[in-house]
Structure 1
Amino acid sequence: MPLPHFGGGGVGVKLYAIMPAQVRNRSAETMPQLLNVDAALAQILADMQPLGSESVALAESLGRVIATDIAAPLDLPPFDNSAMDGYAIHHADSLSASPQQPATLHVTQDISAGDSPTDTLQPGQAARIMTGAPIPVGCSAVAPVEDTDDNWRKASGTAPPEEVRIYSRYGYGANIRRKGENIAFGATIMGAGTIIQPAEMGMLAAIGCARFEVLRKPKVVILGSGDELVDVHETLSAGKIRDTNSYTLAGLIRQAGGIPIRLPIARDKLSEIRALYSRALGINPDMIISSAGVSVGAADLVREVMDELGDIDFWRINMRPGKPLAYGALQGIPFFGLPGNPVSTMVTFEVLVRPALAKLAGRALRRRTIQATTADDLRSDGRRSYNRVRLSREGGAVVARSTGSQSSGALMSMLLADGLAIIPEGQRFVPAGSELPVLLLRPLE
């Protein structure tokens, strides 16, 4: 049966598509047992709407997403200027020039970058000029200094000669950069959705754009709970483990263009988890991510808190690792309950959360998937599986090798992985030498 579609849309930053209460409040027992990954992602993306905008200073804009088109408020270059160090001339004065019979011109001006020449260049005259300096009225070409009898070089500090000999002919406009030839006044130079890189910063500086509107970065609260967890600063006593997921998620969120907000770990008590979730809501974030408490079991207290504070669309996904994944809304704020195992947390983030953050942030999702040949036999349990692999280029092909144990707790497997080899649903065995799509986790060298 096709998955019901409840659509995206809404007004403002915090209004997301809301399912009818009788659908959102279905118990886990009445929901489909395992939801298809593609259907889950489609539903998630339908709920996400790009955030509002904020003003940012140019110096702080690297990596930000432009909210509206930016038009040039002036021509670039803003005036006709010389493309060379040399001499501004009337091009007609050079038409018969040659090394054997150079054109001899009287030097009447010396124009540096930043000057504003006021004298008109007359026929038979030349003006020494620097690269980027405005050309004088009457100039129709610039002869490079290398094509004259002057050995002057830029910033030499020497006075110009009284006369200069030109050894070549130049056509109209030679070595002149015309006003507006790069960007014309009113032209759109960057469209909404452009990600600011160093080149964009330079262009914005050139047009005098000191501040402009960018899309807000999504604020993402990270929640963690568990009696066994201790923070990195605490002593590791018997029976305890370090909280790795909140730090991993913080890095992934920042990498995806968001602002991570880590909250302290809650113990496995209903009162503490309820207080933690209430605190998260008080921050007024754009997304909330929990990395524990969604597996079916005695310690599943998150489900009870969600019944009180929010609505869950689905609890289980047909993927490996990451089957026990919750998605819904806490008072209209998108909520992801990711599995507690470190690998499952990272894989579900890459497959489902990163695309959601990209849409919130107004970024185009550039998911690089390549085809690779498997060097090892790979196995699955019939769910869509994301196996961690190392990649190498061999003989013109990309070869994928397993990182070893595919246990959802094998953190080293993600440290070694270049990508996730995707085994389709229903396929339990992939022999070595097979072609599989691989979702890249890092650039392939």
Structure 2
Amino acid sequence: MRSVAEHQQTIAALFAAPDPVRLAVADAHGSGLLDHVVAPISLPGFDNSAMDGFAVRAADLAGATPDAPVRLPVAADIPAGRTDAVALAPGTAHRIMTGAPLPDGADAVVPVEDTDASFAPGADSVSSGTVSFHAAPTAGRHIRRAGSDITAGEVALAAGATLGAPQIGLLAALGIAEVNVARRLRVVVLSTGSELVAAGTPLQHGQIYESNGAMLAAAAREAGALGRHEHFVPDDVPQFLAKLDATAGDADLIITSGGVSAGAFEVVKEALTDPADTGHAVEFVKVAMQPGMPQGAGVLLTPVGRRVPIITLPGNPVSSLVSFEVFIRPALRTAMALPDGRRRVTARLTADLRSPVNKRQFMRGVITETPDGAQVVPIGPPGSHHLRFLAEANALIDVPVEVTAVAAGESVDVIVL
């Protein structure tokens, strides 16, 4: 049998380097950044107020206390967005709002709460009035200095960053309209099996509702790709090949589930085994793992000459999704310049477990992480059809191939889902 690590390398080799595309920042959410982004401006771009209050010269309020307040005339209002230059004369104050530019000459901001003024909605301007200050501010108090967040010329985001909401916010604040990112790959999922029917259709004896296609397309989308589920096809080689030709034209990866084991009606394996007939080159192997032993991987040759990676997964739902996690997700995210995104932690096992001889097992589990450490409980039987327990799991317990038993209380390697 092929080892898990060997098959991971086989899958990774199917993908090319990330394909660059230039996108508007708003459309790049979730993408992997390919180039360093250098700040074209400083943030903040000017000294501004961190509070609603009054811009002052600290020296003018040096002796202010609650018992001996200092009263100053208010010479101007400075709302956020005011663009003309304003100077603060000694012995005066300017009413200022959060984010508004600090007037020349001011070196502190006193919050309105530390005065006898009120900024209640609808209140009249206090400009040309006076205000009492009950405390002496220190120079620099409540001022956001220009460039205190980032200065022009600094690297704002490094290549390889994933563009989440905070990163999008930073790019927008810097006035950057477009970025170079890795193109999100288009993944087509195709299920096979004459026993499959669509949800909402009455089941006949021997039929089951198709679940793998929807599950794997969702997994592809969770991985950052553009996942699309095509309708399943029966166990018929010509129909299967026709469906492949019809769906491969705009795909960057095709994933199939089912039809790769040792049964008599393994349509995927039968259709793709002989490259002389199809022009496709797909290798079917057994991988030393549980669940997910039967696997296949290779390339399709489309009618227009494109070579599209194809990964054929087993049909049992647990085997199918575990195989996606172990083999496809890491390679797919690397091809989109994204980190794997799954954490590996060491956890204390809460119950004994056994693992098959000469197979690396990925057992479903529920992990709880606390400041004192993590613990994980195995859930469900090992059968690959127990989808319920897969839905309850938030982790996979990774049991090495040479280990056949682990006792409660021992440490295990856990993939956090």
Other-structure match for 2:360: 384
> For 1:316-327, what aligned pairs fall within 5 Å after superposition?
316-327=286-297
- Listed one character per residue, the Cα deviations across residues 227-253 of structure 1 (whole Å, up to 9, x for unaligned) are 222222433222222221111111111
Amino acid at match of 2:239: E
Other-structure match for 1:350: 325
> Which whole-Å CA distance do the structure 1 matches of 2:285 and 2:79 have between them?
70
Higher mean alpha-carbon deviation, 209-218 vs 363-372, is at 209-218
| Corresponding position: 1:88 with 2:55 | yes
Other-structure match for 2:114: 147
Unaligned runs of 5+ in 2: 302-306
Compared with structure 1, are the counterparts of its residues 410 and 166 closer, same or farther at alpha carbon in structure 2 (3 Å cutoff)?
closer
Unaligned runs of 5+ in 1: 1-33
Amino acid at match of 1:292: G
Compared with structure 1, are the counterparts of its residues 187 and 391 closer, same or farther at alpha carbon in structure 2 (3 Å cutoff)?
closer
Is the contact between residue 260 and residue 284 of structure 2 (CA under 8 Å) also seen in structure 1?
Answer: no
> Which whole-Å CA distance do the structure 2 matches of 1:395 and 1:198 have between them?
28
- Listed one character per residue, the Cα deviations across residues 336-394 of structure 1 (whole Å, up to 9, x for unaligned) are 11011111101111111111111122111133223231413423233111122334569
| Corresponding position: 1:360 with 2:335 | yes
> Which whole-Å CA distance do the structure 2 matches of 1:179 and 1:391 have between them?
46
> Which whole-Å CA distance do the structure 2 matches of 1:337 and 1:416 have between them?
25
Cα shift at 1:162: 3.2
Higher mean alpha-carbon deviation, 321-330 vs 90-99, is at 90-99
Q: 1:426 aligns with which of 378, 402, 412?
A: 402
Is the contact between residue 376 and residue 401 of structure 1 (CA under 8 Å) also seen in structure 2?
Answer: no
Compared with structure 1, are the counterparts of its residues 247 and 398 closer, same or farther at alpha carbon in structure 2 (3 Å cutoff)?
same
Other-structure match for 2:304: none
> Which whole-Å CA distance do the structure 2 matches of 1:395 and 1:68 have between them?
37
| Corresponding position: 1:286 with 2:252 | yes
> Which whole-Å CA distance do the structure 1 matches of 2:100 and 2:120 have between them?
12
Compared with structure 1, are the counterparts of its residues 141 and 431 closer, same or farther at alpha carbon in structure 2 (3 Å cutoff)?
closer
Amino acid at match of 1:153: F
Cα shift at 1:416: 2.8
SS in 2 for 1:263: strand
Amino acid at match of 1:299: F
> For 1:97-136, what aligned pairs fall within 5 Å after superposition?
97-99=64-66, 102-136=69-103
- Listed one character per residue, the Cα deviations across residues 116-143 of structure 1 (whole Å, up to 9, x for unaligned) are 3444322222222222211222223223
Q: Number of residues paired by the alignment?
A: 406
Compared with structure 1, are the counterparts of its residues 167 and 286 closer, same or farther at alpha carbon in structure 2 (3 Å cutoff)?
same
Other-structure match for 2:163: 196
Other-structure match for 1:309: 279
Is the contact between residue 53 and residue 111 of structure 2 (CA under 8 Å) also seen in structure 1?
Answer: yes
Cα shift at 1:402: 3.4
Cα shift at 1:76: 1.6
Is the contact between residue 47 and residue 143 of structure 2 (CA under 8 Å) also seen in structure 1?
Answer: yes
Other-structure match for 1:330: 300
Cα shift at 1:436: 2.2
> Which whole-Å CA distance do the structure 2 matches of 1:346 and 1:183 have between them?
43
> Which whole-Å CA distance do the structure 2 matches of 1:90 and 1:398 have between them?
54
Other-structure match for 2:104: 137
Cα shift at 1:282: 1.8
What do you get for the CA RMSD once the two structures are aligned?
2.6
Amino acid at match of 1:340: G
Is the contact between residue 77 and residue 183 of structure 1 (CA under 8 Å) also seen in structure 2?
Answer: yes
> Which whole-Å CA distance do the structure 2 matches of 1:92 and 1:404 have between them?
72
Is the contact between residue 288 and residue 334 of structure 1 (CA under 8 Å) also seen in structure 2?
Answer: yes
> Which whole-Å CA distance do the structure 2 matches of 1:395 and 1:58 have between them?
37
Amino acid at match of 2:146: K
Cα shift at 1:399: 4.1
SS in 2 for 1:358: helix
SS in 2 for 1:351: helix
Compared with structure 1, are the counterparts of its residues 152 and 390 closer, same or farther at alpha carbon in structure 2 (3 Å cutoff)?
closer
Higher mean alpha-carbon deviation, 401-410 vs 322-331, is at 401-410
Is the contact between residue 374 and residue 436 of structure 1 (CA under 8 Å) also seen in structure 2?
Answer: no
Other-structure match for 1:372: 348
Amino acid at match of 1:217: R
SS in 2 for 1:325: strand
Amino acid at match of 1:84: M
Other-structure match for 2:184: 217
Amino acid at match of 1:248: M
> How high is the TM-score relative to the length of structure 2?
0.87
